[in-house]
Amino acid sequence: MPPNPVESTYDEKKQDYCETAEDSDSLDVDSAAERRLVRKLDLRLLPCLALTYLLAFLDRTNAGNARVAGLATELHLGNWGFNIGTCLYYVMLIVCEIPAAMLVRKFGNRLVPLAVIAFGIITIGTGFIHNRSGFYAVKSLLGIAESFVLPGNSYIITQFYRRSEFSVRIGFFIFSAGYLSGAFGGLLASAFLRLPPIGSVHTWRHIFVWEGLITAGTGIFLFFLYPNRSETTTMLSEEERKLTALRVGSSVSGSKRGEFTHLSLTQVKEVVFNPIVLAATWFYIIDSVTVTGMTVFAPTILALNYPHASPIRIQLLSVPPNICAWALSLSLVYFAMRYKKHAAAALVGALLTLAGYGTWLATDPTFIKTRYACLFLNTMGGSYGPIILAWTVSNARTDSERALTAAMIGGTGAIGSIVGSWSYFPTDAKTGYHIGNTLNVSLAAVVTAGIAALWWFEFRYNKKKGSDSTFKYVL
């Protein structure tokens, strides 16, 4: 782990395997063959990963689309039922992510598309529930099934790419899928709401049934496209499998290079309680509050701003902000990874969030177009979370510490999703959701100052140590 700003007892001579950039780049490989392999992986593997995450996010957030079409009223959810169901989803997701990752590692990569089929079936079942208890049950089951997607796909990426290539690939399927699902969700919901009743399936029930069928059907298709483990997959030729093994730092013959080693309790404590990791975890929690609020409650907020708009128009209004957020997020991720400017990219996202919510609170409710523009800023602002994760993981020195740092930030940071599920509730609608927006602008101010402070500290550390230092922060 990077030096502790307070006190570091880390003994570099006793650290476990550490793969430096120089080690990785000095491997004896054909650079042209390597470029062809990476291009093939990007075109063949990443679309599968992105599609699974898109489907997961689509089935995760479609309740927000269904809510403005009558779900809460018909199921008698009252003032708090929708928030409770959303909260249950995130609790189950957080609890099950680590066991799900272990299961994927034990039973193979194709457990991920099987999970896609499972949550597709659960989504179909949501179209046939009739009360609050049923809503709670399907949201809990959905959290369990979707817990396989993010950790499973992240583990798959580590099988095929160098460490220096992880962040931009993970960012690709998170950002492209997460934000595009918001756009597709609005478009699909607006189309399904136009369908006439089919038996007991009508209005909001169409959203779940048809989106669930799309998800389950795609999951079956993905089952045959998903690669086996990197050393056995038929997606690659024998030479490509050997090159992949060499690139990721392990060999088919069982080399120890790149394997994870167990950290001692002292090393675990040093990683977990390192102020830099704790700060990054706090930033990620704040980002999760904002992202959850925008992805789940955007249709509800739009319905408040456009009280005379039809449910179909509300769905369509949710599309443009997500498209813009997708484009900006990918640009920030590329900028951060290409130029090693993680802090600057993260700061842009935090400032957008601060500007969006701040302008919203300062604007008269009758300025509908201004508030709609703020929705663009708020949605785009959530891009800094994965950049924070990549920034901190990039500064961990060893494989084991990188894994623990990622688990610490990603797992603990997901607590923000639970907070975000309670940031907007019906009793606050009459104020224009003043409580939720005040919470988000306050947190955005905290994270903006925090990112700037962390950037300053790491810059000062690098400058003080100079060019002869064995360790310098990636900024």
Question: Residues 127-186: pLDDT tens digits?
Answer: 999 999 999 999 999 999 999 988 888 888 878 887 667 767 776 666 667 777 778 888
Same structural domain, 359 and 474:
yes
- Does pLDDT of 24 surpass 80? no
Domain final position from 202, 226, 250: 226
pLDDT tens for each residue of 173-224: 666 677 777 788 888 888 999 999 998 899 999 999 999 999 999 999 999 9
CATH number of the domain within which 86 lies: 1.20.1250.20
Same structural domain, 56 and 116:
yes
- Domain presence at residue 367: yes
Same structural domain, 329 and 471:
yes
Same structural domain, 265 and 218:
no
Domain final position from 172, 206, 226: 226
Identify the domain containing residue 402 by its residue range: 260-475
Same structural domain, 264 and 222:
no
- Domain presence at residue 11: no
pLDDT band at 13 (very low <50, low <70, confident <90, very high): very low
- Domain presence at residue 81: yes
Same structural domain, 435 and 364:
yes
- Domain presence at residue 231: no
Same structural domain, 200 and 294:
no
- Domain presence at residue 36: no
Same structural domain, 211 and 330:
no
- Domain presence at residue 165: yes
Please count the structural domains in the chain: 2
* Global confidence as pTM: 0.79
Domain final position from 177, 201, 226: 226
Same structural domain, 78 and 216:
yes
pLDDT band at 260 (very low <50, low <70, confident <90, very high): very low
- Domain presence at residue 267: yes
Same structural domain, 50 and 127:
yes
Q: What is the pLDDT of residue 174?
A: 66
Pairwise pLDDT comparison (183 vs 120), residue with the higher score:
120
3-state secondary structure the chain: CCCCCCCCCCCHHHCCCCCCHHHHHCCCCCHHHHHHHHHHHHHHCHHHHHHHHHHHHHHHHHHHHHHCCCHHHHCCCCCCHHHHHHHHHHHHHHHHHHHHHHHHHHHCCCHHHHHHHHHHHHHHHHCCCCCHHHHHHHHHHHHHHHCCHHHHHHHHHHHHCCHHHHHHHHHHHHHHHHHHHHHHHHHHHHHHCCCCCECCECHHHHHHHHHHHHHHHHHHHHHHHCCCCCCCCCCCCHHHHHHHHHHCCCCCCCCCCCCCCCCCHHHHHHHHCCHHHHHHHHHHHHHHHHHHHHHHHHHHHHHHHCCCCCHHHHHHHCHHHHHHHHHHHHHHHHHHHHHCCHHHHHHHHHHHHHHHHHHHHHCCCCCHHHHHHHHHHHHHHCCHHHHHHHHHHHCCCCHHHHHHHHHHHHHHHCHHHHHHCCCCCHHHHHHCCHHHHHHHHHHHHHHHHHHHHHHHHHHHHHHHHCCCCCCCCCC
Same structural domain, 222 and 267:
no
Same structural domain, 321 and 366:
yes
Average pLDDT over residues 397-407: 68
pLDDT tens for each residue of 300-329: 888 888 888 888 888 888 888 888 888 887
- Domain presence at residue 273: yes
Quote the mean pLDDT of the chain: 82
